[in-house]
Structure 1
C-alpha cells in the first residue's frame, strides 16, 4: 500500500478516537473484484462503486466479465477508470482489498495474498460440506494473516434525525428486503400455476390468505407487497414493538399482526394459502418456526416459501437446495421447489439472484461507507474510528475476532482490542500528547494576557 496524501468527501458515519483533521487524510489502496466461482450472479463492485473509489484516489481492478451476470459490462467499468485483468490471479495479486459477495471457493485460496483484506458474506454453514469448506477457508486466512469482513453484521448508527438509537445492519437489511419482494413475486406465480387463481383476487373474488413469519426488513417488505396485490396478510413475530411499527407504518387495512406463539400459529395455519418464512439472521442458523407436525396443518395445495433456506430454514421440512439461476428460465426455478405432503415448497438459497442488478446495487450502495473507510484509512485505523466496522470484523490479521464464527470452526477467539492493542496504545499516547499541548497553549495564552495590561488604539 503506497501512502500518498489524497483528499475526498468524508462519509457521514460515526467516528471516534481521532480529530476531524486526521480523518480527512486518506491513503491510496488497490481494490479488486473477480468472478464468483460458484456461479453466483451478484457483485459488490458496481460501476458506481468503482467510480467512487477511483474519485477517492484508489485503483480498481476487475476480472474480465465478472459482472456480466449482474447486468454490468466491462465497458462500464473501464469508462470510470477501472483496470481490466484477464485472470482472478492477476486481480488478487494487484489488490490490497478484494470485494466479493460469496465466500471464496477453494480454487481461489491459492491467489489470496498475505495480509489481504476480503469483504464477503459469511454465515453458519447449512450443510456438512459447506462447514468443511468454511473451516479450510478459515485456516487459509489464519496462515496468511489475512483479514475478513462480513457484510451481514456491519452496523451503522442512525442519523441524528432518527428518533431511535438502535444500531442496524444496512447491508443485511437491504438483501433481506430484496428477498421479501422476490418471495412474494414467486408466490404469485406459484399459486397461479398450482391453483389457477390470482394472488390477490379481483372484483367479486377474495384474495389469498398470506402468513408472514417475521416483522423484520424481509417480512415487512413482503407484507407491503402482498397487501398491495390484494392479499389478506397476517404477520407474526415475538417482538411486539416490531409489530406495532408495522401497523403504524403500513396503514394498510389488509395487514394484520399477531403475536407468534404455537397456539396462535396452529389456529391460523389451516386457513393459510401462502406462508413465507422471513426470519433471516445475519450470521447464525435460522430458527425453526414451523415444525413438521405444524406443517401438516396447512391445506393441500398451499404454498410454503422459506426465504431463510440459506441459513437452514424457518420450516422443519425445508430442503437445502442450490440456487441455479439463469436469465433464460428465471420463472421456473425448479431446482428449488419440491412437494411435501401435498404442499408446494420453495426453498431458495440465493433468491436475490433472480434480480441480480437490483440486489447488486442494493449491496453496493449500503456497503459503500464501510468499504471507503477501509480503503481510505486501512482496516486497523478504520475499525478504531468507525465502530460499525467492528461487528463485521470476523478475522483480523489471521486472528478470529468473532466468537460465534470462531467456535463454529473450532478456532481460538481473540478479542479485537487485543489484536489492535499496539494501535490503541499509540492513539492513547497521541491523545495524551494533544492534551498536554493544549494545556501548554492555554498557559501561554494566559501569561500573555497577564503581561498585557494596557492596549493602544491606532487611528
Structure 2
C-alpha cells in the first residue's frame, strides 16, 4: 500500500504522523511510504532520517494526497487539506468532529473513509490511541496552570507548591480518567493541595488507594463542583465522553464566582470544552480572561512537546497502521470491530452515533457504510 504523511499545518503543531522507526516497520512489510518534506522537523526527525528508513520525500501535501491510498496525520485536516481528500482514500488521524460541523460536512463531501484515533477502542473498551496524548496533556495541564498562576500571566501570583509557612495552591481536577490521573501525578509531585472529582466511585476508590491522604476524592455532583471550583486556584477540566461533545460542567455563573486570578485549563477543549466560558486557543495566544479568571484552552497541547508526543503516539498507532496497510482498509475494518469503532465518516455517511447526535445528522452504522467502498 502507498501511505502518505503530510506536514501538519495547524498553528504550532510540530508532531508528525509517523516516526522514522514506524516508517521502517512499514517498509519492511513491503509498503511504500511518502513523507512531505520537513514534516518531521518539529519533532527532531529530518528528511534524511526518513530516507534512511526507506521513505520517499515529496515536496508538497498535494503530491502526498494525489499519490497515496492511506493518509496518516496527527490533527484534524484543515480546509486546505480536506479539499484534497478523494473517495478511494482512508484518513487516519484525530478528528474531534462532534463540535466541528464544518469539518464534518467537508469529510462527508470527500467520500473518504475517515478513522478517528480518539474513538478506536481495544478489547476492554478503552481508548488506546487517545490515551498517550491524554497522558501528555494531563501532565502538561499542571505545568501550564502553574505558569498561568504567575502574576505576569494575570494569575493570582500563587506558587503551586507553596513554601514553608505559606499554603500551597488548591488544584481541582474534574475527571479522574487518563487526563486526570496524569494531572494528579504532577500536581501531587509539585506539592499542591489536590482534589479530584469523578462520577465513578470505583475510579475514586482506586485513586484513594494510590494516593491516600495526599489527595481528596469527591463524587462529582453539581454541588461538589460548585463548592470546590469557587475556592480553587487552578481548575483542570479533564472530562471525556468518547466521540461526543464534552458536557458543560462549569457554568458561566460559577466562573464569575471564582477568585480573581484563578486559572482554568480546559483539556476537554478538543471536544468543545467542559467549561461554559471556554473557547479554543493556540500556542501563539494560549490564554484569555473572563471575569478575572485566566483560561488556558490550547486545542493541541501535546504539540508543544512534539518529539515525546510523536513517539508516544506512533507507539500506539503503528499496529493499526500495519493492519490497515497489510489487509487493506475495507477488510481490516470489516474484520476488526475495535478498529471499526474509529470510523466516523465513510462513503459520505456519518458512522459514529455521538457525532450524528451532536450535529443532528443521520447515522449509518460503519458496517453498512463500508459495503460501499
Residues 209 and 232 in structure 1, CA contact (< 8 A), matched pair in contact too = yes
Aligned partner (choices 99, 120, 126) of residue 154 of structure 1: 120
Pair member with larger Rg: 1
Residue 132 (structure 2) aligns with = 174
2:260 aligned with 1:300: yes
Q: 1:106 to 1:381 in 2, by over 3 A?
A: same
Residue 96 (structure 2) aligns with = 123
Deviation at 1:389, TM superposition (A): 0.6
Residue 387 (structure 1) aligns with = 337
Residues 230 and 254 in structure 1, CA contact (< 8 A), matched pair in contact too = no
2:70 aligned with 1:139: no
Aligned partner (choices 285, 304, 307) of residue 354 of structure 1: 304
Q: 1:407 to 1:309 in 2, by over 3 A?
A: closer
> Size of the alignment, in residue pairs?
369
Deviation at 1:223, TM superposition (A): 0.9
Residues 108 and 346 in structure 2, CA contact (< 8 A), matched pair in contact too = no
Residue 65 (structure 2) aligns with = 92
Residue 288 (structure 1) aligns with = 248
Q: 1:272 to 1:288 in 2, by over 3 A?
A: same
Q: 1:268 to 1:409 in 2, by over 3 A?
A: closer
Give per-residue Cα distances to partners, 1:121-174, cap 9 Å, x unaligned: 112354xxx522431232122xxxx211110011112xxxxxxxx321011122
Give per-residue Cα distances to partners, 1:35-76, cap 9 Å, x unaligned: 223343222211121111112221110010112223321121
Deviation at 1:410, TM superposition (A): 6.2
Residues 97 and 103 in structure 2, CA contact (< 8 A), matched pair in contact too = no
Residue 415 (structure 1) aligns with = 365
Deviation at 1:220, TM superposition (A): 0.8
Residues 172 and 194 in structure 2, CA contact (< 8 A), matched pair in contact too = yes
Aligned partner (choices 315, 323, 328) of residue 282 of structure 2: 323
Q: 1:324 to 1:111 in 2, by over 3 A?
A: same
2:170 aligned with 1:209: yes
Deviation at 1:77, TM superposition (A): 0.7
Give per-residue Cα distances to partners, 1:306-331, cap 9 Å, x unaligned: 1112222111121x233145xxxxxx
Give per-residue Cα distances to partners, 1:102-131, cap 9 Å, x unaligned: 2223323453344111112112354xxx52
Q: Matched residue of 2:274: which SS?
A: coil
Map 1:58-457 → 2, pairs under 5 A: 58-124=31-97, 126=99, 130-141=100-111, 146-157=112-123, 166-193=124-151, 194-248=155-209, 250-318=210-278, 320-325=279-284, 335-406=285-356, 412-419=362-369
Whole-angstrom distance in 2 between the partners of 1:92 and 1:244: 48
Structure 2, gaps ≥5 residues long = none
Give per-residue Cα distances to partners, 1:150-201, cap 9 Å, x unaligned: 10011112xxxxxxxx321011122111111111001111223434442112
Residue 6 (structure 2) aligns with = 34
Whole-angstrom distance in 1 between the partners of 2:128 and 2:54: 28
Give per-residue Cα distances to partners, 1:382-435, cap 9 Å, x unaligned: 123322111001233444322333455665433233345699xxxxxxxxxxxx
RMSD: 2.2
Residues 321 and 348 in structure 1, CA contact (< 8 A), matched pair in contact too = yes
Residues 106 and 137 in structure 1, CA contact (< 8 A), matched pair in contact too = no
Residue 47 (structure 1) aligns with = 20
TM-score normalised over the length of structure 1: 0.75
Give per-residue Cα distances to partners, 1:333-359, cap 9 Å, x unaligned: xx2212222222222222112212222
TM-score normalised over the length of structure 2: 0.91
Give per-residue Cα distances to partners, 1:229-283, cap 9 Å, x unaligned: 10110000111111112222x3353211001112222332343211111113332
Residues 281 and 296 in structure 2, CA contact (< 8 A), matched pair in contact too = no
Structure 1, gaps ≥5 residues long = 1-28, 158-165, 326-334, 424-459
